[in-house]
Amino acid sequence: MNLRRVVVTGLGAVTPLGNTVEELWISLLNGVSGAAEITRFDTTKHKTHFACEVKNFDPTNFFDRKEVRKLDPYVVYSMASAEEAINDSGLLTAELDKDRVGVIIATGIGGFSSFLQEAVEYGRGDGTPRFNPFFITKIIGDIAAGHISIKYGFRGPNYATTSACASAAHAIINSYDNIRLGKADVFVTGGSEAGINPAGVGGFNAMHALSTRNDDPKTASRPFDKDRDGFVLGEGAGTLILEEYEHAKRRGAKIYAEIVGGGSSADAHHITAPHPDGIGAMLAMKAAILESGFKLEDVDHINTHGTSTPVGDIAEPKAIINLFGDHAYKMNLNSTKSMHGHLLGAAAAVELIATILALKNDIVPPTINHFTDDPDIDNNLNFTFHKAVKRPVNLALSNAFGFGGHNTSIAVKKFDE
């Protein structure tokens, strides 16, 4: 079977580092931290008082006030980033068969804040079930994809993927596979999350997953640093337009990059901890590279999962060394989570956007907040600490792993005819 080529023709983002792709990219190159004191609720009784919140975002720039009340923030973020990506791609002015345009938007948790709000209000009442008529449609995980398809009339495959912090990567890989197999010509895909609320912070605190560096939030996300103490919770959305190459070429679309492989695996090890030797991570990367048709030594850059957790940041470098051997030391690795925090179900989409821009511009954004080498990590690896690095980037991987042992890796290459 002849598989079709898949290219990226549009990007959109709402993140703690900016509410457009351009703002995100500038902040990444400048090593800006999006972490700050939480403004959404009183954190006095929480162990962690900070997060990477989306800032200066006005939903009424996209919806009227009446409509905003019907939507959870994760849907608002998703639709805003989708609008940027669709406009960027030029799809709205193209002749499209909308039956062959699909939407797959991931989320790890869905309408968490709306669920919490309704539950709290119910608990304060007398037991009478007085719920918002939009309660269910605000919280379900597939609804962002539904809203986008309704707004634009896209009638192709439409659903959500959920695999914790690998959710958006699975959405993108599914979209890529659908196009390769000829089931659609275009996909709007990515992920969104809005979990910065008392239950989100409290829940991750209870499992000791979050940093508690309340005295210095901006340096709290410390991937691969000896003194890392957990991830920094983030929120936002990333959206990509994937398109069959000939379809994009016919309409004269701008092409950012080509997706050439998607690997998935399971650790089959533990509900939250990765396999200590990174076996699942290695399998996902290996599968992505095998599918790409390239060799291991062709990879120039890996945007790692790199969450700043004690165990995860040891396992992933082991996986890279075990798979790549000597070539592991010739690549530029980084973790953009050091800047935008961990966007959970949206993380893989935002990080793939960063990887694509690194490829397009031949610049690898830094891993910030490195102060002390960890003796349990091979520090001969190039983690691109402190400053962005200019270098040729022709083939790159973007990794994403999730609770439950879900592992993904997406291979993307510089576009050429």
Which of 339, 343, 333 lies closest to 313 in space, CA to CA? 333
In the chain, the percentage of residues whose pLDDT exceeds 90 is: 99
- For 325-370, where are the alpha helices, taking DSSP H only? 337-340, 347-361
**Mean per-residue pLDDT, 94-106:** 97
For residues 60 and 148, state if they share a domain.
yes
Q: What is the pLDDT of residue 305?
A: 98
**Average model confidence (pLDDT) for the chain?**
97
Q: Is 270 in the active site?
A: no
Same domain, 201 and 282: no
Q: What is the DSSP string of 236-305?
A: EEEEEEEEEHHHHHHTT----EEEEEEEEEE--S-SSSPPTT-HHHHHHHHHHHHHHT--GGG--EEE--
- Looking at the fold, whether 229 and 283 belong to one and the same domain comes out as no
Which of residues 250, 281, 303 is at a domain's end? 250
Note whether residue 388 is domain-resident.
yes
Residues 219, 79 share a domain:
yes
Greatest Cα pair distance, the chain, in angstroms, is: 66
φ, ψ dihedrals at 118, nearest 5°: -65, -40
- Which residues make Cβ contacts (< 8 Å) with residue 298, sequence separation at least 6? 394, 395
pTM exceeds 0.85: yes
**Are residues 176 and 313 both part of a single domain?**
no
Please say if the pLDDT value at position 31 is more than 90: yes
Predicted pLDDT at 417: 80
> Is residue 386 annotated as a catalytic residue, yes or no?
no
Residue 134 binned pLDDT confidence (cut-offs 50, 70, 90): very high
Identity at 354, one-letter amino acid code: A
In this structure, the answer to whether residues 351 and 383 fall within a common structural domain is yes
Residue for token digits 């037991």? 127
How is residue 373 annotated by DSSP?
B
Q: Which of 49, 52, 165, 275 is catalytic?
A: 165
For residue 37, the domain's CATH number is: 3.40.47.10
| 40: nearest Cα among 117, 118, 135 | 117
In angstroms, how far is the first alpha carbon of the chain from the final one? 21
Which residue among 182, 217, 250 closes a domain?
Answer: 250
Residue 322 CA to residue 366 CA, distance in Å, equals 23
Instruction: Give the pLDDT confidence of 42-81 residue by residue, as tens digits.
Output: 999 999 999 999 999 999 999 999 999 999 999 999 999 9
CB 277 within 8 A of CB 292: no
Asked if residue 244 belongs to a domain, the reply is yes
Find how far residue 369's CA is from the centre of its chain. 20
Average pLDDT over residues 159-164: 98
pLDDT reported for residue 1:
72
Mark whether 173 and 315 lie in a shared domain: no
* Residue-wise pLDDT tens digits, 318-373: 999 999 999 999 999 999 999 999 999 999 999 999 999 999 999 999 999 999 99
Contact 283, 296 (CB under 8 A): no
Residue 258 belongs to a domain = no
CA 191 to chain centre: 6
Cβ within 8 Å of residue 363, ≥6 positions away: 29, 357, 388, 389, 390, 391, 393
What mean pLDDT is predicted for residues 244-257?
A: 98
Phi, psi of 373 (to 5 degrees): -65, 140
Q: Which domain holds residue 119?
A: 7-250
- The catalytically annotated residue of 305, 340, 370, 406 is 305
pLDDT of residue 348: 98
In a domain, 255, yes or no: no
Residue 257 falls inside a structural domain: no
284 lies in a domain? Answer: yes
Q: Which among 65, 105, 92, 87 has a CA at the least distance from the CA of 10?
A: 87
Q: Are residues 228 and 184 in the same domain?
A: yes
Residues 301 and 165 in one domain: no
- pLDDT confidence bin for 92, thresholds 50/70/90: very high
**Does residue 159 share a domain with residue 276?**
no
301 catalytically annotated: no
Residue 163's CB is within 10 A of a number of other CB atoms, namely: 25
Residues 238, 274: one domain? no
Residue 139, in any domain of the structure? yes
In the predicted model, what is the mean pLDDT of residues 288-310?
98
Catalytic one among 49, 147, 342, 370? 342
Total domains in the chain come to 2
Say what the pLDDT of residue 357 is. 98
Task: Mark which of 205, 228, 250 sits at the end of a domain.
Answer: 250
Co-location of 240 and 335 in the same domain: no
Q: Is the pLDDT assigned to residue 159 strictly greater than 90?
A: yes
Angle (deg, nearest 10), helices 112-124 and 198-206: 100
* Res 370: pLDDT: 98
Q: Is residue 256 situated within a structural domain?
A: no
Looking up tokens 């659903």 gives 159
For the stretch 380-403, what's the b/e string if a residue is b when 16 or more beta carbons lie within 10 angstroms of its beta carbon? Answer: ebbbbbeebbeeebebbbbbbbbb
pLDDT grade for 207, boundaries at 50, 70 and 90? very high
